[in-house]
Amino acid sequence: MTESNQHPLSPEKLAAELADQAVSAQEVAPSGEPDAVSPAVAPEVPSAAVQSVDHGVQVPLASGGLSAPITTTPRLASKADVLDDIAGHAPAVIELPPGKHLLDVADLRVAYPQKGMFAKPVEILHGVSIAVEEGRTMGLVGESGCGKTTLGRAVLGLAPITGGTVTFDGKDIAHAGRGERRKLSRDIQVVFQDPYTSLNPSMTIGDILSEPLGIQGISGADARKRVRDLVDRVKLPSDSMDRLPREFSGGQRQRVAIARALALQPRLIVCDEPVSALDLSTQARVLDLFLEIQQTLGVSYLFVSHDLDVIRHVSHRVAVMFKGEIVEQGLAEKVTEHPEHPYTQRLLLASPVPDPDKQAQRRTERRAHTAAMAAAAAAAAA
């Protein structure tokens, strides 16, 4: 982990922070049973040491099974960000796919300049490495503000890269010029998050879809035929070409955005939260469309989302990002169902499920996981 992204608290301050939030697991819940996972209640003496319990508490883990018995249960009801920070700085669990990759991002760093002559740039990505295989999907998941979109923008040449490489089909494109980027647009395209603002409201759908073709020198009958094929492929109404974006629903507008991305028959599409602005039923249809297109055309996706369920549905491999760093990366089934990294475990336990009983169990497991993490952090800092 980079020095600039380390936990801001010293071990002594962290121990005091945890001690201030600690409560005994002997506290009695409304049910009359000892409560080892309830929200934190600050002790009467803020400087008191972390309180211990007489019996061990075994904590259910996100990866299955139980932890070893613990003897302290400090809880941080209002300090979840502290625990996320602690979890995020555990050793990364990285498993890159073997063989040749279509896209290879290695030790990528992105920093944005600040105003002022002597202001230092703010580094957003701290040595990120991921790989996208031909015809497969790499899902990138993490909380809001962790740097997911910045990584996608860096691949597209829209973010200031200060270190590392972005290799596409064997060629480093990290610092490609405008002319080279125009050529790359045949192979790399993007679907943006908001279907309401990513389309020109004054252009018809036919014009929107034919614009990238014209830039690449494809016009006339060939362009019209390809546009008609695109409209059919994304299952839009046959009269869509002469209509304006405002005449379509959100899901239909996102289909237009997908068709525009497919116009030049790219090999890689960066999908930046493409379904987050849609309702659940529309999300499902759009995700199925992405999968159908991949099966038919063999296109690769770098799929960015904060929703683990969406990532699980579309991805072959998953990378988990926290504060500009990849903390876990591997096969989708393994990362989303049996994560090894503590931050990924917290992310999984925070994901809601529709069954009320399972959701109650997950909430209990998350609180217990929090208690175990706080205990380990307090013991390490003591």
Check whether 7 has a pLDDT greater than 60: no
Check whether 28 has a pLDDT greater than 70: no
CB 225 within 8 A of CB 218: no
Judgement on whether residues 59 and 125 belong to the same structural domain of the protein? no
Mean pLDDT to the nearest integer, 184-197: 91
Domain that holds residue 271: 93-343
The order of strands in the sheet holding 188-191 is 93-94, 325-331, 317-322, 137-141, 300-305, 268-272, 188-191
Judgement on whether residues 168 and 242 belong to the same structural domain of the protein? yes
| Residue recorded with tokens 């020198």 | 217
CB 277 within 8 A of CB 250: yes
Judgement on whether residues 259 and 199 belong to the same structural domain of the protein? yes
Judgement on whether residues 173 and 25 belong to the same structural domain of the protein? no
Q: What pLDDT is recorded for position 65?
A: 52
Judgement on whether residues 165 and 238 belong to the same structural domain of the protein? yes
Q: How far apart are CA 1 and CA 168, in angstroms?
A: 26
Q: How far apart are CA 165 and CA 131, in angstroms?
A: 12
Q: What is the SS3 assignment for 328?
A: strand
Helix (H) or strand (E) holding 172: strand 171-172
CATH number of the domain residue 99 falls in: 3.40.50.300
Check whether 26 has a pLDDT greater than 60: no
Check whether 321 has a pLDDT greater than 90: yes
In a domain? residue 348: no
pLDDT in tens, 73-86: 334 333 455 556 66
In a domain? residue 163: yes
Mean pLDDT of all residues belonging to the chain: 79
pLDDT in tens, 331-357: 999 999 888 888 888 888 888 888 888
In a domain? residue 298: yes
Q: What pLDDT is recorded for position 54?
A: 28
Q: How far apart are CA 372 and CA 87, in angstroms?
A: 11
Q: How many domains does the chain have?
A: 2
CB 172 within 8 A of CB 296: no
Check whether 57 has a pLDDT greater than 50: no
Q: What pLDDT is recorded for position 25?
A: 33
Judgement on whether residues 218 and 72 belong to the same structural domain of the protein? no
